[in-house]
Amino acid sequence: MITGKVKFVVVGLGHIGKRHAQMIMDNPDAELCAVCDTRSPEETGWSNKNVPYFYEFKEMLDHLHDCHVVNICTPNGLHAEQATEALDRKKHVVVEKPMALSRSQGEKIIYKALQVSRHVFTVMQNRYSPPSVWLKEVMEEKLLGHIFFVQLNCFWNRDDRYYLNKGWHGTRELDGGTLFTQFSHFIDMLYWLFGDIDDIKAGFNDFAHQHSTDFEDSGAVLFNFVNGGMGNINFSTAVWDKNLESTMTIIGEKGTIKVSGQYMNDVVECHIKDYEMPDLPASNPPNDYGSYKGSAANHHFVIDNVIQTLRERTYVSTNALEGLKVVDIIERIYQHR
């Protein structure tokens, strides 16, 4: 058990990596020991000269024997290798979404974590938003009865402002695909709320990104839930100019729920037998990247969960097995490419 400040390092200083670093610096129970990126501080926009800056991941690990946690915020295709390397040095690991780009890579992470008795935290920040917390309670209390049908719509804008001159974005090797980079946290919501899926059918197309990505920008997926009921996912990053919505509609035996907004931040329909919906706290705003917006800014909850878990006051809110299941589901969907 860690009793003093929990010491973190952050690898990868893109928008999300810098947010991790800021959340660590803002938490009085945490200490940011170092950051790492292959680019220069000028290129990444990192200006804090009080925090050691490394260019090589393994060199940083060699110099920082007393750090407790490695936060991996690098391109998707590097997550598995770097997580395994950090675990091999007996560090706890926080891995940004997605945990890996294949089930086999994810299994190696879990095997290594068990071998060295260290925690792996996977970042699925949508779980912390008030509508998500409420939805989880509704599902655990079985207020909707049997689930009949679930529809997930994710319609975002990711145009040349996002993909061009971004290096790894859009590449099959480091990005992996639209479901991995853009919408894996929504796949996580499906799994978290309703369980695993099977009987998958899917179709994909690349309408607006043939010049900028190695993969689809739109798709439709149909499936059954292992626990009963059916569902579909419709997604696209070909929406013009700005995000349209992320919407989940749930039709159950005893009621209907619809959660909508740019990042599923508004409950727009709740009609359940003998139930009155409580007032929910306001959701956090989306991560703002200038020309485009991402999911809800909930990373401070992730950092706090790491600290409280390592102090043995709580448990991992999104564990490695759950992160692996999200990768597994996406990989099975992509088998229909």
* DSSP per-residue string spanning 165-185: T-TTTT-TTTT--HHHHTSHH
In a domain, 91, yes or no: yes
Residues 81 and 132 in one domain: no
> What is the reported pLDDT for 124?
87
Residues 250 and 101 in one domain: no
Residues 114 and 155 in one domain: no
Q: What is the CATH number of the domain that holds 147?
A: 3.30.360.10
In a domain, 164, yes or no: yes
Burial class (CB in 10 A: 0-12, 13-18, 19+), 332: middle
In a domain, 324, yes or no: no
In a domain, 148, yes or no: yes
Residues 246 and 140 in one domain: yes
> What is the reported pLDDT for 284?
67
* pLDDT tens for the chain, residues 1 to 337: 888 999 999 999 999 999 999 999 999 999 999 999 999 999 999 999 999 999 999 999 999 989 999 999 999 999 999 999 999 999 999 999 999 999 999 999 999 999 999 999 999 888 888 999 999 999 999 999 999 999 999 999 999 999 987 789 999 999 999 999 999 999 999 999 999 999 999 999 999 999 999 999 999 999 999 999 999 999 999 999 999 999 999 999 999 999 998 778 899 999 999 999 999 998 766 655 555 455 556 778 899 999 999 999 998 988 999 999 999 999 999 999 9
Residues 146 and 274 in one domain: yes
In a domain, 134, yes or no: yes
Q: Which pair of structure tokens corresponds to residue 106?
A: 């994810």
Residues 161 and 280 in one domain: yes
Closest of 235, 256, 257 to residue 246, by C-alpha: 235
Q: Give the Å distances, CA to CA, from 97 to 101, 103, 123, 181, 257.
A: 10, 14, 6, 7, 27
Instruction: Count the Cβ atoms, other than its own, within 10 Å of residue 316.
Output: 18
In a domain, 206, yes or no: yes
In a domain, 329, yes or no: no
Residues 163 and 289 in one domain: yes
To which residue do tokens 């695993």 refer? 196
Q: What is the C-alpha separation between 249 and 183, in angstroms, rounded? A: 16
Q: What is the pTM of this model?
A: 0.94
Strands (E) across 110-166 are located at: 120-122, 147-155
In a domain, 93, yes or no: yes
Provide the residue range defining the domain that includes 165: 126-296
Number of domains within the chain: 2
Residues 140 and 239 in one domain: yes
To which residue do tokens 């879990």 refer? 110
Burial class (CB in 10 A: 0-12, 13-18, 19+), 11: buried
To which residue do tokens 């800014």 refer? 297
Residues 47 and 147 in one domain: no
Residues 26 and 77 in one domain: yes
